[in-house]
Structure formats: C-alpha cells, structure tokens
Structure 1
C-alpha cells in the first residue's frame, strides 16, 4: 500500500489450492484479499501472456521486472492496468495529466509513453527514493522531460493550485493510487482541477474484493483498515452529480469519473 500509491501486484499468478475449513480444495482466488478478480488465476495469466506481455513496451517490461524485486512490490500497478491506462490516454488525446501516488513509476511510465512529446504529468508521492528506482528507465525511454515530480503530501499542493486559480479545469486526466483514507479529500479538490469532459481514475476501488466481504471475514490488517474508506468513496462517487462513472474490474478495480459539469 503506497504511502502515496498502492496498487495491485502483477505477479505471475499460478492457480494454487488451499484447504478450506470443511476439507474441500478451493482456489486461492476465492479467498478474501486475493488480487485477481477473474474466475481463476489461470485466466488472468492468459490475459497477461496473450494480450499484455506481447505488446508491453520494453521500458515498461524492464520497470515491471525491476519493481518485482522491490520489497514493497505489492504496491505496483498491474501490467494489464498499465496497458489500459496507456490506451485510454491515447483515446482521449490527453496532454496535461496528474498522478497522485507514484511508487516506482510503472503507471507513470505508461502515461508518459502515451502522451505527445509536449505532454505533461504532475506526479506526486511522499517517497522520492521509490520513484528513483524507476527513474533511470524512464529517462532511458526518453520521456522524463514530461514529468514534474514533487515529493511530499499531495493535498497541500492541490490546495495551493486551487488557491492560485489558474489550474481550474486544466487537467485532461488524473490518476489516483494513493492513501485510501484521503481519497474523498482528493476528490473534493480534483473535481475543480479536471476539465469538463476530463477523467479522474481512482485505483483499488474493489480493494482486494473486500468491498463485498462480510465484516467478520478474514482479511489482512491493511485491507481491513482501508476497506471502509474505499466503501465511502464508492458510495460518494455514485452519488456525485458532477460526474459520470464506470467501475471496471481491471487490476484491483479502477473507477473512471468523467466530469460533466
């Protein structure tokens, strides 16, 4: 879970079996807290090997493999989600974007590769050390000039941008993969910064599948802690008349919000 950025891991999932309380064998994907939301790990692996990996740009592959060795690799954006973000930005002709929660920069690189040469990304994370893991690969890919990285909490930066007045409605796309307990606070600010017709993407909105789990279901501590914040966000987005929304079962769940007024 990123201090300002946590997402689904993109490990090479192999379907495994675990023993249930009644002695039956169940696949690991059925357990609360597992990342894959598909019917089986094998099906997810099929998507990666058939559609994602063959088309993954070499810099993204290199960064994915480097990040897999990081002790916090669970925080990385999945390869299928990176592919989705890359295509989405091309479809909407995004040029001015923002990313809150960077980690080693896999989704950031996916964005930078999709933008035109004069495109810009305001990227924020409280941990520059993690960002610098991926920075040499981003530089080698020739897209580092598109990125304005700011180390530190995002909320004060957003507040200053709103106070300045000149950033209102200027962003084509904003991706949030950060501290889940602040998602509502981010949304209150980002809705003013994204343009009408622009998109905000909130990551982890299915939160390991825990959003539909019973309150007493076994969960990892961090999953249980942030679960209520994710549920609060999902409810708020569904009720917000300023946006149209679409919740997608990509990665750990991503909700796209299109500002309409």
Structure 2
C-alpha cells in the first residue's frame, strides 16, 4: 500500500480523552450500561460505546432526519442517541426481537425525554421492514442486529431511504476479524455484507475505524448515479 496509515491503537487512557474531548460523556447512558451489565452480563458487550452514541446524535442532527428506522434496539442506548438528534415531531421506529429489553429500556427512554419519539416493534425485523411503505421515505437508518441478516436488512432498507438519506451500519470491522483467513460465522457474514455494500451502485459509502467499525452510506438519486 503506497498511502500512509495513520490509525492508532485506542488505549484506555486515549479512550477517556476521546470521550471527554468529544463531549461523549453521558451519565444516563453510562448508568444504562451498568444496568445492562448487571441484567444481561453475557450480552453486555453489545452496549453502544459512548462515542458512537454521540456520533449517532450528531448525524441525525446533521441530516435533519425526521423519519428513522433502527434495526436492533438492545437496551436502548442507540435508540436514545438517535431520538435525541430528532426534532419534536421526529420518530424512530426500532426493531427488537427480544421482548426482555423493553422493560429495561423503557425508563431510560422516559428519562431521556424521547419516549414519545420512539415506536418499538417486537418481532423479526425483516417482517417489520417489509411492512413499511415501499417508496423512498426514510431519512436515516441504523443497522446493528444479527450479522447473518445484514444483507437482508440492507436490501429492504436501501429502496426505502430517500435520495440523500443516510444508512449507518455498525460492527463493519467485527473486532478486526473480517480480514482473518478463517473468520467465524458472524465475521464471515459481516465480510459478505461489506462486499455486498461496496458493490451497490445505489449508494456512496465510507467505512470508518470508529468503535467496532461503522459504515456510512448516502443514498444516491438517479442523476448522481448517471454522473
């Protein structure tokens, strides 16, 4: 590779610096993370990092999003982050397969002041997505759920995102395992998704080495694609 590589390892001290100077410290989300660790310690690694929560709010604000779909609520950190970036009449429709997390997340949605902007749909996300109007109408989507279904979620959502709208996909580096010669099942699914998204001419995208990897994709209109 001829270009320079400037990625640096994020040590605990550097991460604290990043959270502080990136204004990502958030007592409510930090409390929710502790509650999540106590309630479901085996799944606590799925909690959204604070700097990624701040990025989601920033992107929702930046795109002036009003209509958002989230695939994978878990205990609500990303839902809160997205909803915080919306105007009062904005809405997040969030898909969650496990009803256990509704009771845990509900008080935090209320305390964050965003409960009235959130519509939780419990059940298979693909079923929920297929029930949405097929016309392009979504401003922003966030995909952070079961990795083998990423391509299916993408294919349901891309046509429903308006031109200029944003798709955000989490875990696109999967702890670096996407470049392993023998990746695990989930990492292999993420790699397959990355190849699929990279070849999709309906979007322009960039992959960021933030948290566990984030892919940002902007939906193109026909004129953009012709150029």
TM-score range normalised by the length of the shorter chain? 0.7 to 0.9
Name the counterpart of 2:15: 44
Q: Indicate the SS of the match to 2:139.
A: strand
Aligned length: 212
- Give the Cα–Cα distance (whole angstroms) in 1 for the partners of residues 212 and 190 of structure 2: 12
Aligned residues of 1:96 and 1:119 also touching (Cα < 8 A): yes
Q: Indicate the SS of the match to 1:62.
A: helix
Gaps of 5+ in 2: 1-6, 222-227
Note if 1:98 corresponds to 2:58: no
Q: Indicate the SS of the match to 1:108.
A: helix
1:163-197 alpha-carbon deviations (Å, 9 max, x no partner): xxx45211100000011101111111101111111
The CA deviation at 1:38 is: 4.3
Name the counterpart of 1:73: 44
Q: Indicate the SS of the match to 2:65.
A: coil
Over 3 Å counting, the alpha-carbon distance change for 1:208 and 1:127 in structure 2 is same
Aligned residues of 1:123 and 1:148 also touching (Cα < 8 A): yes
The CA deviation at 1:107 is: 0.5
Note if 1:240 corresponds to 2:209: no
TM-score, length basis structure 2: 0.87
Gaps of 5+ in 1: 1-36, 216-222
Q: Stretches of 4+ moved more than 4 A in 1?
A: none
Aligned residues of 1:52 and 1:79 also touching (Cα < 8 A): no
Which shifted more, 206-215 or 182-191?
A: 206-215
Note if 1:226 corresponds to 2:226: no
Q: Which has the larger radius of gyration?
A: 1
Q: Indicate the SS of the match to 1:241.
A: coil
- Give the Cα–Cα distance (whole angstroms) in 2 for the partners of residues 251 and 39 of structure 1: 11
- Give the Cα–Cα distance (whole angstroms) in 2 for the partners of residues 167 and 117 of structure 1: 25
Aligned residues of 1:60 and 1:110 also touching (Cα < 8 A): no
